[in-house]
Amino acid sequence: MNLTAFLRLFRILLVFTRYRLDQLIQPLPLPWYGRLMLFGPWKLYPAPRDLSRGLRLRLALESLGPVFIKFGQILSTRRDLLPDDIAIELAFLQDKVPPFPSAEARQRIEEQLGMPIEAVFAEFSDTPLASASVAQVHTALLHDGSDVVVKVVRPGIEEVIHQDIQWLYLAARTLESVSREGRRLRPVEVVRDYEQTIFDELDLYREAANASLLRRNFLGSPVLYVPTIYWDWCRHKVLVMERISGIPVTDIDALRAQGTDMKKLAERGVEVFFSQVFRDSFFHADMHPGNIFVSRHQPQEPQYIAIDFGIVGSLTPEDQTYLARNLMAFFKRDYRRVAQLHIDSGWVPPETRVNEFEAAIRSVCEPIFERPLKDISFGQLLLRLFQTARRFNMEVQPQLVLLQKTLLNIEGLGRQLYPDLDLWSTGKPYLERWMRERAGPRHQLQNLRQHLERIPPLLETTHRALDNIAQRDQHVPARRRSDTLALRVIGVVLVALGANGLGTDMHLWTEAQPMYWLLLAAGGWLTLRRDGDDSNRRTYRPK
């Protein structure tokens, strides 16, 4: 540790003392050696009056700068780990920090591009358009007349992040070691997730690639527009993107003034979400209102505009299928199905009593159905679900944390745009259509083709192995046996595909059932078939 790192630690301790954050740790069941930590110099500092514990934590993070502000934002999404009052307060953290000098921005841009600013841009504004935790944005004009924005990472932020994360790890490990309740909060896991997220955001090449893929997924779409990336001028610390002109999604007065169909706008927001999650398995995971705009064109057919693609999420096919089955079960109010899916997936211990788990889920979810969005708080719903989860020792899956955060953002956006939006009736038809397409014959044939493409390399390997055996033992008809084995391998694959299809929710997808039985029959015949008539076979005996 160098002097700078220790000075940073001293600054952190001062803030810890000023806001008496030791009082946040005090209620935890600490052992005697853990309670010794509470008798530090901060005890001599009076506790702030009329400030809740959540507010004190938020003010402390704000005073420690961009890295801790971003950490508080991410921490606010983990409602499975935090008390409700703290999570709500941290959600008010704003990603706005004072800009760094324009001279430093120019210098970093020129270093990254390897040429003077004037050689790239006909005009460049020294006044930042926006300033965030790890980067700030300037407007510019390319020599071909294109209006663009230039995003540049803060100079020196990498070293600050490295130092702060090491201290965060130290605090997290200490909390885990001295408190059983602290271990339940999994602070090291939270810090590790944050470390990955913030370092991903520092690589603007990655953000540019995210934007490019999202643009390709919605190219020509009437519901979402993604700006063009100018790859010639993108580097790891600099991103140049088309400048958009739209109305901030939170400016309700301006949206209404231009005659925007607010109901359709809200419904298209749901469509964008389901398209990204289920159709593309690639979704914008930082959809707070500051990153979403509405086009000024065709207000009766409103179109969203998205920016800031540093945080994205992706689900595996297994995650998609599992999530879809749960959502459909929720839509149908089949809480027993929801409980059984959680047990089958291993999210809760196998010894969990289905009846008890079903009753707990019903008590949480039943009150929200058949009500408009204005009467539903997804934040409170998630909180109650997490409380139920802890009761049954359910672990929150890390791959769905970003999705939960996105759902919270969708809730806030929907409330502002059209409070009477019925999220369930809007999303259910889209989800049912996706499930029919995914489990229908066409999709299954695509899966079959993918599986069959893997067979030739396996067969070739088998042929080579048996040929090697034949060279050692001339009495073994290697080619004949390898051909038989090849057919049986194909048969086993077909049986597996058919059995997997019949093992899904066939009460939803009965049109696919005949194909699954056909796969089973064909696979069984290839697997069990005899290689010719026994009477015509030659008997091979050692000489």
Please report, for residues 447, 524, 526, 529, the alpha-carbon distance to residue 489 in angstroms, rounded to integers and kept in the order given.
Answer: 17, 11, 8, 12
User: Looking at the DSSP assignment, which residues form a beta bridge with residue 152?
Assistant: 136, 238
DSSP E strands in 162-237: the ranges are 224-225
**Residue ranges of the alpha helices (H) in 440-474?**
441-453, 455-472
Sorted by sequence, the CB contacts under 8 Å of residue 352 that are 6+ apart come out as 339, 342, 343, 392, 393
Query: H or E stretch including 246?
Result: strand 246-248
Strand partners, 150: 138, 240
308 closest CA partner among 143, 506, 132? 132
Q: How far is CA 269 from its chain centroid?
A: 17
CA 371 to chain centre: 27
**Is residue 286 annotated as part of the catalytic site, yes or no?**
yes
Number of H helices, E strands in the chain: 24, 11
CA separation for the pair 413, 294 (Å, rounded): 12
**CA atoms 10, 15, 18, 23: torsion sign:** negative
- Candidate list 80, 164, 193, 286, residue with the active-site label: 286
Amino acid at 314: S
Element (H, E) at 429: helix 423-439
Between CA 394 and CA 82 the distance in angstroms is 16
**DSSP symbols for 409-425:** HHHHHHHHH-TT--HHH
First to last CA, the chain: 77
Contact 79, 110 (CB under 8 A): no
According to DSSP, the residues that pair with 241 across neighbouring strands are: 149, 229
User: Do the Cβ atoms of 225 and 295 come closer than 8 Å?
Assistant: yes
List the catalytic residues.
286
